[in-house]
Structure 1
């Protein structure tokens, strides 16, 4: 489809897909709000606040159509499961991946970066493959490109797209009506405030609550239930093995690819960015005022003196965790930090994680924080997620692979 589209005469497509509610109907203000959200680049930060979550809604009619409800879209009606999938942030691309639909994704933020990172984990999923290389990089999508992609669903938060420069409410509605619906929720990442125009209809969800709704869009409730059982069992294992708070090491999460500009991330974020950390109830080495800043200096890290440091993105093949470790050891101030002295700088993956990365990262973070309770984390320098013996796995890797592949 040509990128030069006359918006006044663009035909309405996919009339079988429509919104059942009035959430995105007439009456909402057109306009553009400056400022956007943040991806999972270790140099990005996010805001936080607190709002309760809501439960899932999924109804089916006699003609086989079905409706899935999620804020901020409201009720979204489908006649059949979408085939081609547009995404922005990787928590939603990761949900498609978990449902066996990863290779149906046609756009995402930094596709080559995240293809390389996700494929650090696929070697531990027998029979699972993934290729996101060369996809449209959709951090700031253009409406014309969305017409060209002609996706069956946009797994993206319309409120976060509305917040981008160049988008207004009319554009959001045009994409919904002429191409396909929006279905996503981004501000649940840290419970940040959406644009004012969206506040009244916004709700926050956990990673797995959102995954349940996305699974309903694709009519993959059975696959969701199977993975949710794996997740529940993992959480039960973690809960039963947690040491008392007095025996937990102090920890920080950092983005340290550049030691001259170290980013610090809260460990107690209320949103899904810390879905792999919160269940482990870590003790933060930073005071609240330091956690709320985007960058910290080496002196501030020494003052916090964490016993454990998590290096966000350290598992990416283009990031050398060995160089990060040696950089701290070679720094006159950094070498005084307990985590450096005790060789407890650990590589992490991504905060915008889908369900499968969440399982792996819960396992790895548990072993990194509490080796006496959950087993030693192998010394990691590069390559794929370490191969952990079956009897030392905190969740069944083969079971997860079978579910992704539909063999369950």
Structure 2
């Protein structure tokens, strides 16, 4: 491990200057960024001393847009991707898995490429490896790092001091309580509120604004087309790698994990006895009897949706569920979605729930996100691609 840098009062602050995390450890600003030229796109001009703020980190000061980007969870890697920085990510949880999943969507974005294969897998990162990566910014929530149990406050502060700042928020996924040590400074954000703050880190506010306008227009399209409440189906969001032990996620739980579902206002089929993240058996699924089953990760190349549907049809209990009887078992993408996947998943889910209002969703078995006729698309792929590539005008 490199020795900690020593400075005295006469030295200039380095780009990895000191940071204290408010309360006992969080708050304050860290002079950070990268050496050399920044991104040359029009919305990332370098500037001295610009800041970005996110809970639980607090305000962070950068001297230039970071070049090398550490991430843990894919909602933050997806934000870097949306800002044209996806290939600057050097670590993430299950990189090969999520590379394959994200690349089910990128073929619809002309000129946009993404390669996360072979990156460091950072679910529970090793501190020595973070020194090796030497990232300009760590797009990760220090409170979630602390919650791992293998990292303490000194470790978190050491990385921020010697390498680069933390900047991220994880417990907004389901608005969960953070560790007690971080509770006083914690705040919950929607996916797009967090994206706005990450855009400030990279001086990419114009890209955020342009994508946010597309998101807002999409939400308005959805809202204007929603059928009356009495005509909306009941639904469940589940992970079905093992249909005898199913992970269930409730649709009305706040947080960005369901950012593609709540705007569509389906009726959650599970009652109060099921909490988001619980495991349920097929008897509980039949008791809920959803009209629609959403299968998380169903669009991943290694997931066999045909087999999932067949297994449900062949199961003595599952075959009686309304969604199974009526062929309404649908593939979904990622829970920890970034902004671009959120656009696709909003469109996808709208069609899955309300084909009469938003157009038919093709029966998905394998391969990339299906081709949708131009006049049935709910957002402009070309505009999104131009924004990600930095070739756009406001």
**Do the structures match in fold with TM over 0.5?**
yes
Q: Which runs of 5+ in 1 are unaligned?
A: 30-61
**Superposed structure 1 runs of 4+ greater than 6 Å apart:** none
Where does residue 153 of structure 2 map in the other structure? 169
Where does residue 270 of structure 2 map in the other structure? 286
Per mean C-alpha deviation after superposition, the further-off stretch among 102-111 and 278-287 is 278-287
CA RMSD of aligned residues (A): 1.9
Q: For residues 178 and 292 of structure 1, what CA distance do their matches in structure 2 show?
A: 38
The superposition leaves residues 133-163 of structure 1 with CA deviations (integer Å, 9 ceiling, x where unpaired) of: 0000000001110000000000000111111
Q: For residues 347 and 267 of structure 2, what CA distance do their matches in structure 1 show?
A: 18
Paired residues of 2:16 and 2:162 also in contact (CA < 8 A)? no
Matches within 5 A, 1:18-167: 18=17, 23-24=21-22, 27-28=24-25, 64-167=48-151
1:322 corresponds to 2:306: yes
Paired residues of 1:5 and 1:144 also in contact (CA < 8 A)? no
Once the 2 structures are TM-superposed, how far is the Cα of residue 23 of structure 1 from its aligned partner?
3.5
Q: For residues 133 and 366 of structure 1, what CA distance do their matches in structure 2 show?
A: 31
Q: For residues 322 and 154 of structure 1, what CA distance do their matches in structure 2 show?
A: 39
Paired residues of 2:22 and 2:185 also in contact (CA < 8 A)? no
Q: For residues 85 and 321 of structure 1, what CA distance do their matches in structure 2 show?
A: 34
Paired residues of 1:18 and 1:181 also in contact (CA < 8 A)? no
Structure 1 residue aligned with 2:241, among 239, 254, 257?
257
Once the 2 structures are TM-superposed, how far is the Cα of residue 28 of structure 1 from its aligned partner?
3.5
- Under a length normalisation based on structure 2, what TM-score does the superposition of the two structures give? 0.90
Once the 2 structures are TM-superposed, how far is the Cα of residue 24 of structure 1 from its aligned partner?
4.3
Per mean C-alpha deviation after superposition, the further-off stretch among 97-106 and 299-308 is 299-308
Partner SS state of residue 70, structure 2: strand
Q: How many residues are paired up?
A: 370
Matches within 5 A, 1:317-396: 317-396=301-380
Once the 2 structures are TM-superposed, how far is the Cα of residue 166 of structure 1 from its aligned partner?
2.1
- Under a length normalisation based on structure 1, what TM-score does the superposition of the two structures give? 0.87
Bigger RCO (CA 8 Å, 6+ sep)? 1
Paired residues of 2:253 and 2:276 also in contact (CA < 8 A)? no
Q: For residues 292 and 260 of structure 1, what CA distance do their matches in structure 2 show?
A: 18
Partner SS state of residue 351, structure 1: coil
The superposition leaves residues 274-318 of structure 1 with CA deviations (integer Å, 9 ceiling, x where unpaired) of: 000010111011112124461111111111111100000100000
Paired residues of 2:144 and 2:170 also in contact (CA < 8 A)? yes
